[in-house]
Amino acid sequence: MNPIKADSKTKSAQSERTADFENNLIHPDVDSGLPEQKRTAGKASAFDKWLMRTMLQKLGNPEIEVVLWDDSVITTSTSSPPIRVYIHQRSTLNKLLIDPSLYFGEGYSQGTIEVEGSLVSLNEAINRSMPSVNAKHFYRDGIRGCLRWLSRNTIDAARNNVHHHYDIGNDFYQLWLDQQLAYTCAYFSDPEMSLEAAQIAKMDHVCRKVGLKPGDTVVEAGCGWGALALHMAKNYGVRVKAFNVSHEQIIYARERANAERLSDRVEFVEDDWRNITGSFDSFVSVGMLEHVGLKNYEELGNVISRCQKPDGRGLIHSIGCNSPRVLDSWTTKRIFPGAHVPSLSEMMRIFEPQKFSILDVENLRLHYALTLEHWLQRYEQNIDEVRGMFDEKFIRTWRLYLSASIASFRTGSLQLFQVVFTNGRNNEVPWTRDKLYQSD
Amino acid sequence: MNPIKADSKTKSAQSERTADFENNLIHPDVDSGLPEQKRTAGKASAFDKWLMRTMLQKLGNPEIEVVLWDDSVITTSTSSPPIRVYIHQRSTLNKLLIDPSLYFGEGYSQGTIEVEGSLVSLNEAINRSMPSVNAKHFYRDGIRGCLRWLSRNTIDAARNNVHHHYDIGNDFYQLWLDQQLAYTCAYFSDPEMSLEAAQIAKMDHVCRKVGLKPGDTVVEAGCGWGALALHMAKNYGVRVKAFNVSHEQIIYARERANAERLSDRVEFVEDDWRNITGSFDSFVSVGMLEHVGLKNYEELGNVISRCQKPDGRGLIHSIGCNSPRVLDSWTTKRIFPGAHVPSLSEMMRIFEPQKFSILDVENLRLHYALTLEHWLQRYEQNIDEVRGMFDEKFIRTWRLYLSASIASFRTGSLQLFQVVFTNGRNNEVPWTRDKLYQSD
């Protein structure tokens, strides 16, 4: 397993941290709870084994070992100990052939697939082997049309999609996010800093990039539980109007604004970004673009153009990728319905029709891997409390989601872009970026 | 006229500088040398004036005043004194209707058009008024096909295009570039620094962005007179192989390498970027992409992928624009044949097919405006020496080119992008960008 690598100064500390993290996650699957009678009885046939070998070959022979229901082993691993994937049912094996991404996820959630070793490392091993084969025809193209349909993201569809993920209980998210419930990539100016500190550093990084001044007005599209909006108002003396279609998040954010006596400066609006009106110094959106849908990017550009003053700077912070792709089918089915992670050329569909000037793009991919490590660690630490809220299938689904996400950011399957932009004619822009890196 | 604006700390000093600069350029056209007998005799007709008014309207009523050959005035200016454009021939007026960009340039070069006031301000006034009308059908679309043809940029065409601009005499460029002959946007970490210092700061900025370490190998595509390659070898302990198809530039660069005893560490190759072979830690290209041609971007990505090691970082520094466009027809005819200035989505055609990870994009548009101000100022200061080398038409062509370029960068018609990228799986990337802003 390749640990995350950074510049030499921080590398060793980080490698240690990553190793600790991995060790804590070995054998999370000691007991998946699958009753013995649900396992396929009898021997795996030569044909079963041939199918399994063929699939591993199509995946580029990842460093894993597969154990079938009769304990027969098919391996493409050279590691010791290997990462072991147990497939307990013949029907699971058959489904994997149709759509490995979807049915690996489904099988893992249901416990008909179990993993011995780190779930993160397993996903990394597969991600790393994948690009060496033409994975396109194997499982991606077939679902592309379906995903396009899913990602229409009308206002109603967007609301349902957001509800699916974000309205499952604030108390659940409180178990594993930071204290302020920032559910987006943090900024670890020092990799050793706490998640809490890194989320604050991220908010400050965003505020500096758009150059907030006291008295400015900000509109935030997709405000989550309100952490950034409240941080801006409290620390930068600005007024914020923050939009979100998640009912539970808005209720929480309003309560926090009241408790912190900020409700005169921060307005939380339960509405879609398409309905933003008014004129603001800055448009800011952190972690919403993933839910907008590619077809709506040009409309998003129109909205920004309409609501951001000509001398204002805006920022969009989004998960992205290195070249256009669709998210895997399990993630779009079970985790983020309607989600799309854009490449930079796709993101430009927001900005280029309006002739916005792109001032700055920063890629924080490895910061998201580290953020997710913190989340997964807290998730596992509080697993008993999660178990009190949800069933085993939910627990395994979320474990896989967090683990696979770490792997995706580590292996470069996913990126995190922060894009700063302004009106194409605005000369009121910072002369250099040095002020982003000056301590207060 | 809007001076360049930066953050408050540097704004006032810069405004003063810009005002001085403008004052120095007022009335460069006291004597264009057009013989009186070449002026159209007789009165301008009502139809001539109607044509002129219509054209100004199509240009969005820029803040200018036009004086025809019989001293009749058509004005859309509210400024005092106005910027005056003298059109001395009816045939010039008629040609302007066909293609204002091309024939303004041609007329100005030949002296059948003269300008009273700042040529920079004139171009700014037109740039600022243009987007308020649909300029597309007026003069752009008609030449698009033609430009596409011109921008095929085969190896032979590229060589001819480069020869056209860069092989007109190193002694000419020495009159107005910095001492090291860096003919690309400088980086003014302080707007008050000298051009010489800003070019060195740019080279250091590039070297820091790609993270050069002693012993690294670098390939440079389009090395100009060799300033960056030599700077890297001298100050960062790396070995550089630098490519360029300009014969005069390569000869000059080799002489400098010999004189500075760097020829064992810097190899200057007179060849096209398509013929780069070998394996290097970094691929660097500063100010060449403009000559590559959009159709060749994917091939450029292939070349980079082939020659840059998986853990290396690369940088492309290029003039760009906010949305896809073609350069104006005069520039592509007289100044940079075959040139194309890409939008960021177009630049992604280099990176996305190879799944390069974009780490950092910085826009240095206003730095290029300032760089060009320095160049134009030196050009005018040394105009007598230029006059000893070239005829009046050349002098006026280059004055217009430099002035119009300043206006384009000031008004946002042009951008300057520095894009840092690496292999999509490389985790050996800087953790943050703070080291770019630490003093040595």
pLDDT tens for each residue of chain B, 440 residues long = 333 333 444 444 455 555 555 544 444 444 455 666 688 989 999 999 999 999 999 999 999 999 999 999 999 888 888 999 999 999 999 999 999 999 999 999 999 999 999 999 999 999 999 764 444 444 444 444 444 444 456 788 777 877 777 778 899 999 999 999 999 999 999 999 999 999 999 999 999 999 999 999 999 999 999 999 999 999 999 999 999 999 999 999 999 999 999 999 999 999 999 999 999 999 999 999 999 999 999 999 999 999 999 999 999 999 999 999 999 999 999 999 889 999 999 999 999 999 999 999 999 999 999 999 999 999 999 999 999 999 999 999 999 999 999 999 999 999 999 999 999 999 999 999 999 998 75
Strands A266-270 and A239-244: parallel
Cα first-last separation, chain A: 38
Q: In the numeric block, which tokens belong to residue A244?
A: 């979100």
Q: What is the mean pLDDT of residues A178-194?
A: 97
Judge whether A136 is closer than 8 Å to chain B, CB to CB: no
Model confidence, pTM: 0.91
Give the largest Cα separation in chain B, rounded.
Answer: 73
> Are B338 and B158 spatial neighbours (Cβ–Cβ below 8 Å)?
yes
Helix (H), strand (E) counts: chain B: 17, 11
Contact map slice: A 414-433 vs B, CB within 8 A: 415, 417, 424-433
Encode pLDDT of A205-214 as tens digits.
Answer: 999 999 999 9
Q: Which helix (H) or strand (E) holds B269?
A: strand B266-270
Cβ contacts of B411 on chain A, cutoff 8 Å: 425
> Are B344 and B289 spatial neighbours (Cβ–Cβ below 8 Å)?
no
> Are B179 and B186 spatial neighbours (Cβ–Cβ below 8 Å)?
no
- Tell me how far apart the alpha carbons of residues A188 and A194 are, in angstroms, rounded to a whole number: 8
Cβ contacts of B358 on chain A, cutoff 8 Å: 322, 344, 361, 363, 415, 417
pLDDT at site B157: 78
Which of A343, A355, A438 has its CB closest to that of B348?
A343
pLDDT at site B135: 43
pLDDT at site A152: 56
Q: Give the CA count within 13 Å in the CB-facing half-sphere of A131.
A: 17
Polymer length of chain A = 440
Q: What is the CA radius of gyration of chain A?
A: 23
Cβ contacts of A430 on chain B, cutoff 8 Å: 6-7
Judge whether B13 is closer than 8 Å to chain A, CB to CB: no
Chain A's closest residue to B311, CA to CA, is A5
| pLDDT band at residue A171 using 50, 70 and 90 as cut-offs | very high
Contact flag B366-A427 (C-beta cutoff 8 Å): yes
Which of A357, A427, A435 has its CB closest to that of B2?
A427
pLDDT at site B221: 98
Encode pLDDT of A415-436 as tens digits.
Answer: 999 999 999 999 999 999 999 9
| pLDDT band at residue A7 using 50, 70 and 90 as cut-offs | very low
Judge whether A12 is closer than 8 Å to chain B, CB to CB: no
pLDDT at site B369: 98
Judge whether B434 is closer than 8 Å to chain A, CB to CB: yes
Q: Which helix (H) or strand (E) holds A156?
A: helix A155-166
pLDDT at site B168: 81
Q: How far is CA A118 from CA A198, A339, A400, in A?
A: 25, 26, 11
Contact map slice: B 359-378 vs A, CB within 8 A: 359-363, 365-366
CA of B200 to nearest chain A CA: how many angstroms apart?
16
pLDDT at site A439: 75
DSSP state of A62: -
pLDDT at site A85: 96
> Are B46 and B27 spatial neighbours (Cβ–Cβ below 8 Å)?
no
Which of A2, A351, A357 has its CB closest to that of B412?
A357
Judge whether A191 is closer than 8 Å to chain B, CB to CB: yes
- Tell me how far apart the alpha carbons of residues B334 and B391 are, in angstroms, rounded to a whole number: 15
Cβ contacts of A344 on chain B, cutoff 8 Å: 344-345, 348, 352, 358
- Tell me how far apart the alpha carbons of residues B148 and B150 are, in angstroms, rounded to a whole number: 5
- Tell me how far apart the alpha carbons of residues B122 and B62 are, in angstroms, rounded to a whole number: 9
Q: What is the mean pLDDT of residues A164-179?
A: 89
| pLDDT band at residue A438 using 50, 70 and 90 as cut-offs | confident
- Which residue is associated with the tokens 């971007």? B297
> Are A402 and A386 spatial neighbours (Cβ–Cβ below 8 Å)?
no
Cβ contacts of A357 on chain B, cutoff 8 Å: 322, 363, 365, 412, 415
DSSP state of A117: S
CA of A414 to nearest chain B CA: how many angstroms apart?
10
- Tell me how far apart the alpha carbons of residues B352 and A344 are, in angstroms, rounded to a whole number: 9
